[in-house]
């Protein structure tokens, strides 16, 4: 039986595989066909190793026929080009890593593999995850499957477009300031940013180490719960991963929200928000109320300082993390250098794109002598205030409801010339990273222009079960969503 | 904060900072980054309108504690595989331009 990849969830596909209604090989072939058919237009993938994918699929089918188990046995998953998968490229969409082949698996990837998943394809992103549109990829732009003149969001734009466009069952992304949630919202799929420390960052090319988290982009909340459960847990290779038990997240999924208290942060519904976005979010809030949740208003008073805080902290950390790209150990090296310093400076000038250079310079500046206190130390203190805001809010409620982004997807090129304007669009997502809490983006309708809107559900650190429960119950009430359901 | 005025000290010296970051920049990049970074920094300076005295800085989302593990040797990455990614190697090592005469 041919497998229809559009809107196929991981959990439904597992049922088909378990009941022998399809094989992993037929699933992978369907994904490869979809990529061949559509990706010339969408541009979600940077590279796909078809032969390796089919080899992994055949191995999974063989394992299954021999009684092999695995929570993801035979399921293909696309991987953002920032995560190491042994034997695959990992360019971070940068010229400076062109030609690099990973000699090891990221821990999150190794855990997927251990449960039988197939790692199929490298998906596009903003260079080193720096951007909100995927326009900063050194290799190509990715288009929004709902409207090909629009950006897919970023930085995990390839992950979101591959899932929403029916070219992947699920994808991995990374989220430093909204890079999973915002593209999920723009493309109309589900995106989960786990709490800081929930999933090991080992093998995730570092952008800002105190903010980065790996997470899944999926068709529905159940899939996000399933993938989180596989990837979560302490890892001796990441000392910031946290040794807390990993709950059975799927068991927290219910069809109602009775007994839950949900907060609306006053500061997240502000002037400047697109009216269609606000309408869709307000309607989703009413659905949650109808599901039995009590809705209260809360305040996160330091929200207006979040973007400034984030761009100081994130660029400072990035300037240190990206020092490793110097042309010595991997990737590109510029020719004609007279000495090592000259070689570093030329390699980095030719290897990095404009946004990465801009952030390295900004990050170096805020850490430099004479400016450290005024910028970096101040930002760290405001980070404390932002974290305290959430702590106070979560004393009153189990989760927060808000938009993911003040607008839906916009046209390609529209904001490319004005970095500050682009950064200000991140105001509703960067706070979760600064505070280390978890966040989920769930599609909640369309704008008048036919573009998806994302409902953001924020939960306390290590309370992923709260936001997954809210997202799942809402999703059940909302009904089918996605391009294939149109 | 002393830097919050509009003195010349506020203007980022793009060429100097880029040199600290080991990053060559062209004339055109200096001009563009100057304009964009000044714009961004003018937004960032709103942080200094807050009274931050007595606030502890947060460097990490969670309080970090030292993590210890047993000091046991384990196999690392395969040397040949790792060196395959290097732009230049010699004698099973990374090769770079000459540092000392």
pLDDT for res B30? 97
Residues A379-398: tens digit of each pLDDT: 999 999 999 999 999 999 99
H or E stretch including B57?
none
Whether B21 and A361 lie within 8 Å, measured CB to CB: yes
Whether A374 and B4 lie within 8 Å, measured CB to CB: yes
Residues A467-480: tens digit of each pLDDT: 999 999 999 999 99
Number of separate domains in chain A: 1
Residues A374-384: tens digit of each pLDDT: 999 999 999 99
CA distances from B8 to A452, B5, B11, B14, B50 (A): 45, 9, 6, 13, 23
**Residues of chain A positioned with their CB less than 8 A from the CB of B81:** 103
Question: Cα–Cα distance between B1 and A377 in angstroms, integer?
Answer: 11
In-domain check, residue A178: yes
Q: Closest partner residue to B50 among A346, A382, A387, by Cβ?
A: A382
In-domain check, residue A372: no
pLDDT for res A31? 98
Find the angle CA(A253)-CA(A257)-CA(A260) to the nearest 5 degrees.
110
Could you list the active site residues of A? Answer: 80, 155, 179
Nearest CA in chain B to A351: B23
**Residues of chain A positioned with their CB less than 8 A from the CB of B24:** 345-346, 348-349
Number of separate domains in chain B: 1
CA distances from A369 to A123, A317, A359, A374 (A): 39, 16, 18, 10
- Percent of chain B residues topping a pLDDT of 90: 73
Profile chain B (101 residues) by mean pLDDT over runs of 10 residues: 43 95 98 96 95 92 79 92 95 91 72
In-domain check, residue A330: no
For residue B72 the two structure tokens come to 């046991």
A102-106: average pLDDT: 97
For A1, counting Cβ atoms within 10 Å of its Cβ (0-12 exposed, 13-18 middle, 19+ buried), the class is exposed
CB atoms within 10 A of CB A276: 17
Asked whether the predicted pLDDT for residue A365 surpasses 90, the reply is: yes
- Domain of residue A55 covers 10-267+274-300+391-485
**Residues of chain B positioned with their CB less than 8 A from the CB of A309:** 47
Q: What is the CA radius of gyration of chain B?
A: 23
Residue that is written with structure tokens 């650190």 in the block: A461
Asked whether the predicted pLDDT for residue A207 surpasses 90, the reply is: yes
Question: Cα–Cα distance between A426 and A307 in angstroms, integer?
Answer: 7
A341/B contact by beta carbon, under 8 A: yes
- Percent of chain A residues topping a pLDDT of 70: 99
- Domain of residue B44 covers 1-49
Question: Cα–Cα distance between B68 and A286 in angstroms, integer?
Answer: 49
pLDDT for res A275? 95
In-domain check, residue A376: no
User: pTM here?
Assistant: 0.96
Whether B59 and A210 lie within 8 Å, measured CB to CB: yes
Instruction: Identify the three-state secondary structure at position A411.
Output: strand
In-domain check, residue A325: no
In-domain check, residue B77: no
In-domain check, residue B20: yes
| Min Cα–Cα distance to chain B from A52, Å | 19
Tell me what the pLDDT averaged over chain A comes to: 96
- Its ipTM equals 0.92
Whether A242 and B48 lie within 8 Å, measured CB to CB: no
A13-19: average pLDDT: 97
In-domain check, residue A58: yes
A303-332: average pLDDT: 97
Residue A199: which CATH number? 3.90.1300.10
In-domain check, residue A318: no
pLDDT for res A2? 65
What DSSP state is assigned to residue A206? P
In-domain check, residue A20: yes
**Which residue in A301, A239, A225 sits closest to A268, CA to CA?**
A301
Of A160-164, A332-336, B96-100, which gets the smallest average pLDDT?
B96-100
Residues A144-159: tens digit of each pLDDT: 999 999 999 999 999 9
B-facing residues of A in 153-212 (CB < 8 A) are 196-197, 210-211
Of A211-220, A265-274, A427-436, which gets the smallest average pLDDT?
A265-274
Instruction: Identify the three-state secondary structure at position B17.
Output: helix
Q: Which residues contact A12 (CB under 8 A, 6 or more apart)?
A: none
Q: Closest partner residue to B59 among A339, A341, A380, by Cβ?
A: A380
In-domain check, residue B74: no
């Amino acid at each position: 039986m041919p497998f229809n990849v559009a809107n196929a969830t991981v959990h439904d596909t597992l049922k088909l595989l378990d009941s022998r209604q399809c094989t992993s090989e037929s699933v992978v072939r369907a994904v490869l066909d979809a990529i061949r058919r559509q990706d010339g237009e969408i541009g979600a993938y940077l590279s796909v190793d078809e032969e390796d994918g089919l080899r992994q699929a055949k191995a999974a089918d063989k394992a299954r026929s021999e009684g092999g188990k695995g929570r993801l046995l035979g399921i293909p998953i696309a991987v953002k080009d920032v995560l190491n998968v042994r034997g695959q490229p990992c360019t971070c969409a940068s010229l400076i890593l062109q030609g690099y082949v990973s000699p090891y698996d990221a821990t999150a990837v190794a855990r997927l593999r251990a449960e039988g998943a197939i790692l199929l394809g490298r998906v596009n992103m903003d260079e080193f995850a720096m951007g909100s549109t995927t326009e900063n990829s050194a290799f190509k732009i990715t288009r929004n499957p709902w409207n090909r003149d629009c950006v897919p969001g970023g930085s995990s734009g390839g992950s979101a477009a591959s899932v929403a466009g029916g070219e992947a069952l699920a994808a991995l992304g990374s989220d430093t300031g909204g890079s999973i949630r915002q593209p999920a919202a723009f493309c109309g799929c589900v995106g989960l940013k786990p709490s800081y420390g929930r999933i090991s960052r080992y093998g995730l090319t570092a952008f800002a180490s105190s903010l980065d988290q790996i997470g899944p982009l999926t068709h529905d909340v159940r899939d996000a719960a399933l993938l989180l459960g596989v990837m979560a847990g302490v890892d001796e290779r990441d000392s910031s991963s946290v040794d807390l038990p990993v709950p059975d997240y799927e068991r927290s999924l219910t069809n109602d929200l009775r007994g839950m208290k949900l907060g609306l942060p006053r500061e997240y519904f502000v002037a400047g928000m697109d009216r269609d976005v606000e309408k869709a979010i307000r309607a989703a809030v009413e659905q949650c109320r109808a599901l039995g949740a009590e809705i209260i208003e809360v305040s996160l008073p330091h929200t207006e300082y979040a973007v400034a805080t984030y761009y100081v902290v994130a660029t400072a950390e990035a300037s240190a993390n990206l020092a490793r790209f110097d042309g010595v150990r991997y990737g590109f090296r510029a020719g004609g250098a007279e000495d090592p310093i000259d070689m570093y400076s030329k390699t980095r000038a030719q290897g990095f794109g404009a946004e990465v250079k801009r952030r390295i310079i900004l990050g170096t500046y805020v850490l430099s002598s004479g400016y450290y206190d005024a910028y970096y130390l101040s930002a760290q203190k405001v980070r404390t205030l932002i974290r305290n805001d959430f702590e106070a809010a979560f004393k009153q409620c189990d989760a927060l409801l808000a938009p993911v982004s003040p607008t839906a997807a916009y046209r390609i090129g529209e904001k490319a010339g004005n970095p500050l304007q682009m950064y200000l669009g991140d105001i509703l997502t960067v706070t979760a990273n600064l505070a280390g809490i978890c966040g989920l983006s769930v599609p909640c309708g369309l704008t008048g222009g036919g573009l998806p809107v994302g409902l953001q559900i924020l939960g306390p650190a290590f309370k992923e079960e709260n936001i997954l429960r809210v997202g799942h119950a809402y999703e059940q009430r909302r009904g089918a969503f996605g391009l294939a359901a149109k | 904060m002393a830097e919050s005025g509009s003195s010349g000290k506020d203007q980022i010296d793009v060429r100097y900072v880029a040199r600290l970051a080991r990053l060559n920049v062209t004339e055109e990049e200096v001009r563009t980054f100057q304009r964009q970074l000044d714009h961004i920094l003018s937004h960032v300076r709103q942080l200094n309108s807050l009274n931050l005295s007595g606030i502890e800085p947060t460097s990490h989302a969670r309080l970090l504690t030292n993590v210890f593990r047993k000091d046991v040797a384990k196999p690392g990455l395969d040397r040949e595989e790792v060196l395959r990614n290097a732009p230049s190697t010699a004698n099973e090592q990374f090769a770079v331009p000459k540092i000392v005469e």
